[in-house]
């Protein structure tokens, strides 16, 4: 529904499935992070992809979402904080903004 609204409002020239848009934006964001010297471990990338997938289906993410599948199967909020530390909430907000803009 989001892509249709953006297309109809003239905010987008191309009508494409929202998950495709999110995937493209995520890959650009990840490349930009790595180009700027910010690297992520494979486990962190797995979590970033889970966060991306959640945002693609829910348009947002909150720490409380880590209590649900698939996050809780990987250690939930505790594991997320272990992996990202104080940067977790900032990364979540940044991804929500970039992926849904």
Could you tell me the CA-to-CA distances from 87 to 22, 53, 68 in Å, in that order? 21, 19, 21
pTM equals 0.84
Higher-scoring residue by pLDDT: 54, 19: 54
pLDDT at res. 37: 98
Q: How far is 25 from 9, CA to CA, in rounded Å?
A: 20
- Domain residue ranges of the chain, discontinuous segments joined by +: 18-100
Kindly tell me if the per-residue pLDDT of 3 is higher than 70. Answer: no
Residue entry with tokens 């609204």: 5
């Amino acid at each position: 529904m989001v892509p249709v609204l953006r297309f109809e409002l003239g905010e987008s020239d191309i009508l494409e499935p929202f998950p495709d848009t999110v995937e493209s934006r995520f890959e650009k964001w990840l490349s930009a992070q790595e180009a700027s010297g910010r690297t992520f471990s494979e486990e962190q990338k797995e979590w970033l992809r889970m966060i991306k997938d959640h945002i693609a289906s829910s348009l947002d993410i909150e720490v409380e979402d880590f209590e649900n599948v698939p996050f809780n199967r990987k250690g939930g909020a505790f594991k997320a904080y272990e992996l990202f530390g104080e940067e977790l909430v900032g990364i979540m907000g940044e991804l929500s903004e970039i992926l849904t803009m």
